[in-house]
Structure 1
Amino acid sequence: MPELPEVTALAAFLDERLAGATIDRVQIGAVHALKTADPPYTSLVGRRVESVGRRGKFIVVITVPDSGRAGSASEGEADDGGPVAVVVHLALGGWIRVLDRLPEPTPPRGKGYVAARFGFVRDDGDEAGIELTEAGTWKRLSLHIVRRLQDVPAVAELGPEPLDDSFTLEAFRKVLNRKKQVKGLLRDQKLIAGIGNAYSDEILHAAKVSPFAIASTLGDETTARLYDAMRTVLGDAVAEDMGHPPEELKDEKRRIMRVHRRAGEACPVCGDTILEVSFADSALQYCPTCQTGGRPLADRRTSKFLK
C-alpha cells in the first residue's frame, strides 16, 4: 500500500502536471469505488484543478469553477461556486497511471481493472489523463467527491501529520501514552496519519525498538529515539521519492527499504538475519539483534519450534 512518502511524491507529480488544467472527461469504471453521490461526479467536468495534495494516505485534488468558461457545471447541474475535492485512497492494490492524452470515451476491455478515468485540457491545448487502477482480488480503492474534506469520514478521523512542525516530541509522547503495541500504534491512522506496515518496520528498526513493545512503557530516551527515527525515515524517503514518475515509485519504495520485505537477508546494521512475523493478511520484519535483544519474536507458524 502506498504510504506517506509515495503519496507525497505522487501528489507533487500530479500537481505539477495538472494544476491549472480543466477537467474535460470523467468516467467511472467501478461504481463501488465511488463512495459519494453529492455532488455528482459529472459536475467535475468544466472545473479547473487548483491543486493536488495529500492528507495521510489520501490524494486530494482541489477543483474550482473555471472562470474562463461560462457555465462550467454540466447541463442541469448547479455549481455553487465553491471548491470541490476529489479524494482518492489507493488502498492495497491501487495505483495511478498517467496518460499523455485524453482517455478514450469508452474504457478499453481487457484484463486491466480501471476504477475511474479523468481527462484534462490545459489553456495551451495540451491534453492529459489519469487512470485509477487496482490489482488483486480485494477491490478497496475509494473515490470521494465532496465539498469539504471533513465530509470523508476517514479523513475527518485522521491523526496529526508526523512531519508537520506542530507534531513535536511532546505531542508524540502523548500519542504513545497507550497500552498498545508500538507497531500497531504507528500504523493507527487515527493517531498518526500516513504510516503503514512498511515504514513502521523501517522506523522501528532505525530506532532499535521491538515491534511488540508496549508504547506506554517506553522510556524518555527510547521515545525520543523513536521520534527522531520516524522523522528521519519518513523525511529521507520523501526526499528520495520526489521527482519520480508514478511508475517508478513502487520500485523506489522497495529499493530504500532496509528490513521490510527482506526476511532472510542480512541486517545492514549488524549483519544478523532479518526475521518475519506473519499475521492473517500482513507480515512484519525485524532484526533480532538490533530490536529484540537477539530473541526471535513468536510467530504462530513457527512458535512451536522456539519453545
Structure 2
Amino acid sequence: MPELPEVEALAHDLDSRLRDRAITRIDLAAFNALKTFDPPVHALHGTLVDRVGRHGKFLDIEAGGLHLVIHLARAGWIRWREEVPALPAKPGGKSPLAMRIVLDEDEAGHTNGLDVTEAGTKKSLAAYVVRDPQEVEGIARLGPDPLVDEFTPQALAAILAEAGRAQLKGVLRHQGTIAGIGNAYSDEILHAARMSPFKPASSLDDDEVAVLHDAIKVTLGDAVQRSTGLAASELKGEKKSHMAVHGRTGKPCPDCDDTVREVSFADSSLQYCPTCQTGGKPLADRRMSRLLK
C-alpha cells in the first residue's frame, strides 16, 4: 500500500508533469471507483491543472477550482503514459485500469496521460471530484501530518495519552490519529524506536515519547528524501529495498542480526526484531498457534 513517503513522491512527480497542462478527458473504466457525482467527472474536461498535492495518503489533483482526489488503497498505483490510445478506455473486463486521465498534446505532439490502476480482485481504490478536499470524509477525519512543524513531541504525547492502553502499532496506523503512516512504516518506525508494536500508548514516559517522535520524523523524512525525484515506476522498488524489518520475515535484522519475526492477523501482518524491540521475547502469533494445534 502506498504510504506517506510514496504518495508525497507521487505528488511531487505528478506536479512537475501535470502543472499548467490541460485535462482533455477522464475515462472511467471502473465506475465503482468514483465515489461522488456532483460535480461530474466531465466538469474537469478542459481545465488546467493548478497543482498536485497530498493529504495523508490521498492524492489531490487541483484543476479549474475543483479537486480530483484519489486514494490508492492497498493495490492501487498510477502509471505515466507517453502516449495514450486514441479511443476512450472501455469499462468492465479484467483490466486493472480504473481511470485514465488524458492530457493535451505536449511539445513533441504526444498525447500524454495517467493510468490509475488497481491490481487484484478486492477493489478499494476510490476517486472523488469535489470543490473542497474537506468534502472527502477520509480527509476531513485525518489526524495531523507527522512531517509538519506542528507535530512536536508535545503533540505526540497528547495523542498517546488520549489513546490510552491502545497498542502503539494501531495508534501509528490510525489515520484519524496521525495521517499517512500505514502498515510498513509503522513497523519501520517502531524498529527504529526499539519499541514493541504491542506496547501501550499511554505507558511511554517523556524520554520514550521523544525517541518515538524522532523515529517518526527521521524514518518518514529519510524515505521522502530518497523517493522525491524518482519516477512513479521506481517508487515501489525503492521502498522495499530500504525496509529493515517490514516484509523481511526470517531474514536477519540489519542492526543486531537476530531473525525478523512476524505476527499474522486476518488480513495483514507485522514484522519486528525480538532483540531490538521486545527484549528477546517473541510475540505471540495467535493465528499460527491455532494452525499448529
TM category (shorter chain) comes to over 0.9
Q: Which residue of 2 aligns with 1:209?
A: 195
TM-score, normalised on structure 2? 0.95
Q: Which residue of 1 aligns with 2:112?
A: 128
Q: Which residue of 1 aligns with 2:9?
A: 9
Q: Which residue of 2 aligns with 1:105?
A: 87
Q: Which residue of 2 aligns with 1:80?
A: none
Residue 182 (1) aligns with residue 182 (2): no
- Larger CA deviation: 1-10 vs 125-134: 125-134
- CA separation in 2, counterparts of 1:53 and 1:106? 26
- CA separation in 2, counterparts of 1:129 and 1:47? 14
- CA separation in 2, counterparts of 1:133 and 1:302? 33
Counterpart code for 2:231: P
- CA separation in 2, counterparts of 1:23 and 1:305? 52
Q: Identity, % of aligned pairs?
A: 52
Q: Which residue of 2 aligns with 1:119?
A: 102
Structure 1 stretches of 5 or more lacking a match? 65-82
Per the TM alignment, residue 111 of structure 1 is displaced from its structure 2 partner at its CA by 4.3
Counterpart code for 1:116: M
- CA separation in 1, counterparts of 2:20 and 2:112? 12
Q: Deviations over 1:66-116 (max 9, x none)?
A: xxxxxxxxxxxxxxxxx1000000000100011112443232687432111
Q: Which residue of 2 aligns with 1:55?
A: 55
- CA separation in 2, counterparts of 1:49 and 1:127? 16
Counterpart code for 2:118: E
- CA separation in 1, counterparts of 2:265 and 2:287? 9
Per the TM alignment, residue 127 of structure 1 is displaced from its structure 2 partner at its CA by 3.1
Q: Which residue of 2 aligns with 1:197?
A: 183
* Change in 2 beyond 3 A, CA 1:128/1:303: same
Paired residue secondary structure (2:207)? helix
Q: Which residue of 2 aligns with 1:150?
A: 134
- CA separation in 2, counterparts of 1:217 and 1:248? 39
Counterpart code for 1:160: P
Q: Deviations over 1:260-298 (max 9, x none)?
A: 000101111111100000000000000000000000000
Paired residue secondary structure (1:211)? coil
Counterpart code for 2:145: E
Per the TM alignment, residue 301 of structure 1 is displaced from its structure 2 partner at its CA by 3.2
Paired residue secondary structure (1:301)? helix
Per the TM alignment, residue 121 of structure 1 is displaced from its structure 2 partner at its CA by 1.5
Paired residue secondary structure (1:47)? coil
Q: Deviations over 1:170-225 (max 9, x none)?
A: 01110111221000000000010000000000000000000000000111111110
Q: Considering only aligned residues, what root-mean-square deviation do their CA atoms show, in Å?
A: 1.7
| Contact kept in structure 1, 2:245 and 2:271, CA below 8 Å | yes
242, 245, 252: which one aligns with 1:259: 245
Q: Which residue of 1 aligns with 2:153?
A: 169
- CA separation in 2, counterparts of 1:211 and 1:198? 12
- CA separation in 1, counterparts of 2:27 and 2:61? 16
* Change in 2 beyond 3 A, CA 1:292/1:60: same
Matched residue count: 288
| Contact kept in structure 1, 2:50 and 2:62, CA below 8 Å | yes
Counterpart code for 2:114: I
- CA separation in 1, counterparts of 2:86 and 2:97? 13
Q: Which residue of 2 aligns with 1:79?
A: none
Counterpart code for 1:52: V
Paired residue secondary structure (1:155)? helix
Counterpart code for 2:270: L
| Contact kept in structure 2, 1:103 and 1:119, CA below 8 Å | no
- CA separation in 2, counterparts of 1:18 and 1:253? 24
